Amino acid sequence: MSKVKPSKHLGDVMSTVVMHNVVSVDGFIADAQDQVGPLFDWYSNGDVVLGKGDTGKISQVSAEYVQPMWASIGSTVIGRHLFDITNGWEGSPPAGDHVVVVSHRPKPDGWHPEASYHFVDDVAQAIEKARELAGERTVAVAAGEVGGQALALGLVDEVAMDVVPVVFGSGKRYFGSVEAQHLLEDPHTVIQGDRVLHLRYRVRR
């Protein structure tokens, strides 16, 4: 797959593509059976309602980071596997108004026709579609195989990690099957929450 040049919107304003997920200290987003174990415990160990729907309650310090981050998201890119195991959040994603699913299979017949979900069979085209939908707002890319492919293609601007103090030992990797070296800048966001460390890095160009 070839690299896709970033689209421009509303003058010369471009959306930022952020690869994101909760991750163990040894770099896993789930175990081999897609179980997240204690990775999401911090979503329910506080007093502040995170967002729309049943998204749990988090600590004040995490909320001050997560809420504006989620509010900035215009569209999200995910893989078909995540879509299938969540059933696409029943057409209502935790953040953002649009979802682009990287999949060789179409949207299931009759599945939430009102939801702004788009199925694209190529990672680069999925990022481009998500940029169009997001406009000035952020494009969030789920870490894992799809996020790793987007990083390898040079389409990711920032890497955001919510690091939980647990060692998985094996499972689904944050960067998927990426094997090449990719340099990041020093983190421009370092926030210690309750049982989670929020980190954000720009990708070095």
Quick: pLDDT tens for 33-54: 999 999 999 999 999 998 766 6
Q: What pLDDT score does 7 carry?
A: 40
Q: Is residue 142 part of a domain?
A: yes
- Residue 34 in any domain: the answer is yes
Nearest CA among 113, 117, 126, 125 for reference residue 97: 117
Task: Determine how β-strand 138-142 pairs with β-strand 73-79.
Answer: parallel
How high is the pLDDT of residue 56?
Answer: 81
Q: What are 16's two structure tokens?
A: 């930022």
Tell me, yes or no, whether 10 lies in a domain: no
Expressed as residue numbers, the domain containing 178 is: 17-202
Q: Kindly report, residue by residue over 106-141, the tens digit of the pLDDT.
A: 999 999 999 999 999 999 999 999 999 999 999 999
Q: How many domains does the chain have?
A: 1
Structure confidence by residue, pLDDT tens digits, 165-193: 999 999 999 999 998 999 999 999 999 99
* Residue 192 CB partners (closer than 8 Å, separation 6+): 61, 198
**Which CATH number fits the domain that encloses residue 128?**
3.40.430.10
User: 9 pLDDT exceeds 50?
Assistant: no
| Alpha-carbon span 125 to 122, nearest angstrom | 5
For the entire predicted model, the pTM comes to 0.91
